[in-house]
């Protein structure tokens, strides 16, 4: 897939404006693509906490730091490459950590698409590092700064803490900037939670659990749950869910899985709940992700098992729901969102099969 920000990031290296160091480089929020293939950059070490992108980097043969908890220990390198995220506090924190990881006299280099906040990110690096170089290509800006006497050490320390976990919603949950709906309860999830029956029982799963809101509601309201598997592709969010749910002291056995749900599920379930994502790391809509979540849930449910799903009303999920489930009904709507209850058909009896 096209990744203009990644393509632009490596231009100063390809044009030899900045030399590739003998000790290699660290790549924060790394993504695989054409510039990173073929072993062109010896000693490149990647960090990526989103499991599908992490797996793609590994398939490309790149060294990738463990990231199930979202915050791996970073090696120090003379060059640190960054693809800053959209969320401003998270972006500033990543730039600050890049300056903490670069060796004295080394370079921090970042790339952002123009319509994703490139000018703001460039200004942030100039402010914290005190010097800047830049060029534009592929409707992106790639910009770099040297770690020297002009770096504002106090600002580096302050910004590096901007996305650290903190209490939200009156202390009910621990969350952090950059996680989906990090400081609030997402209205779609709230609508789904309001319509989940307290009779859900047995082994269940929460697909795309975020910091754990829906799982928390299930564990506190459904006494019949014996086990709950929490699936989340973002390691930073999964670490928060683990903290938030373990703090409940629930009797149910809780499993935590840093996992790409679109690749399928490894277990069978009596019920599944989900508020599936419909964006990847860019802004473009990705309804195929939600459809893949539904297909994975259908394959993993026991006969008679139920999927409780919430989605934006405009998303076209009805075709895969009707194809994969024996019973599908809309149980609630807020105008913007819809709550779907879908039941997997029970196995036919021997006489019916005959």
pTM greater than 0.85 (yes/no) = yes
Phi/psi for 112 (5° steps) reads -145, 140
pLDDT digits (tens, 9 = 90+) for 84-120: 999 999 999 999 999 999 999 999 999 999 999 999 9
Q: 156 — phi, psi (to 5°)?
A: -60, -45
Domains of the chain with bracketed CATH: 4-160 (3.40.50.150), 166-353 (3.40.50.150)
**For 236-282, what is each residue's pLDDT tens digit?**
999 999 999 999 999 999 999 999 999 999 999 999 999 998 766 66
pLDDT band at 349 (very low <50, low <70, confident <90, very high): very low
261 near 233, Cβ under 8 Å?
yes
Task: Give 112's contacts (C-beta < 8 A, 6+ positions apart).
Answer: 5, 83, 84, 118, 121, 122, 140, 141
> Is residue 352 pLDDT above 50, yes or no?
no
The per-residue pLDDT for 354 is: 35
The whole-number pLDDT of residue 291 equals 95
- pLDDT, tens digit, 9 for 90 and up, residues 188-210: 999 999 999 999 999 999 999 99
What does the chain come to in residues?
Answer: 354
Angstrom distance (rounded) from CA 266 to CA 300: 8
Distance of CA 317 to the CA centre of its chain: 22
pLDDT band at residue 315 under the 50/70/90 scheme? confident
Contact (CB, 8 A) for 108 and 99: yes
170: three-class secondary structure by DSSP: coil
CA 55, CA 49: separation in Å to the nearest integer?
Answer: 10
């Amino acid at each position: 897939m096209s990744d203009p920000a990644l393509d632009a990031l490596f231009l100063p290296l390809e044009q030899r404006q900045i030399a590739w160091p003998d000790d290699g480089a660290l790549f924060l929020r790394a993504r695989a693509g054409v510039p990173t293939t073929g072993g062109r950059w010896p000693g490149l070490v990647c960090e990526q906490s989103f499991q599908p992108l992490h797996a793609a980097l590994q398939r490309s043969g790149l060294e990738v730091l463990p990231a199930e908890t979202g915050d791996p220990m970073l090696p120090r390198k003379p060059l640190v490459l960054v693809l800053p995220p959209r969320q401003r506090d998270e972006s500033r924190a990543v730039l600050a950590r890049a300056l903490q990881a670069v060796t004295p006299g080394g370079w921090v280099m970042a790339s952002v698409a123009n319509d994703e906040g490139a000018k703001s990110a460039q200004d942030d690096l100039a402010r914290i590092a005190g010097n800047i170089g830049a060029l534009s290509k592929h409707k992106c800006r790639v910009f770099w700064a040297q770690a020297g006497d002009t770096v504002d050490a106090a600002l580096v320390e302050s910004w590096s803490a901007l996305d650290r976990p903190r209490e939200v919603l009156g202390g009910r949950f621990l969350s952090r900037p950059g996680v989906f709906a990090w400081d609030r309860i997402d209205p779609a999830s709230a609508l789904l939670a309001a319509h989940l029956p307290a009779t859900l029982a047995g082994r269940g799963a929460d697909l795309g659990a975020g910091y754990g809101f829906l799982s928390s509601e299930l564990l506190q309201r459904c006494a019949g749950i014996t086990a709950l598997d929490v699936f989340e592709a973002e390691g930073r969010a999964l670490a928060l869910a683990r903290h938030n749910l373990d703090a409940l002291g629930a009797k149910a056995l809780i499993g935590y899985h840093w996992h790409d749900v679109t690749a399928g599920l490894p277990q069978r379930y009596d019920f599944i709940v989900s508020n599936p994502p419909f964006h990847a790391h860019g802004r473009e809509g990705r309804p195929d992700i939600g459809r893949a979540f539904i297909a994975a849930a259908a394959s993993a449910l026991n006969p008679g098992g139920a999927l409780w799903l919430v989605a934006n009303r405009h998303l076209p999920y009805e075709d895969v729901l009707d194809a994969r489930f024996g019973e599908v009904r809309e149980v609630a709507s807020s105008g913007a969102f819809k709550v779907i209850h879908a039941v997997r058909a029970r196995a036919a009896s021997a006489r019916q099969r005959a």
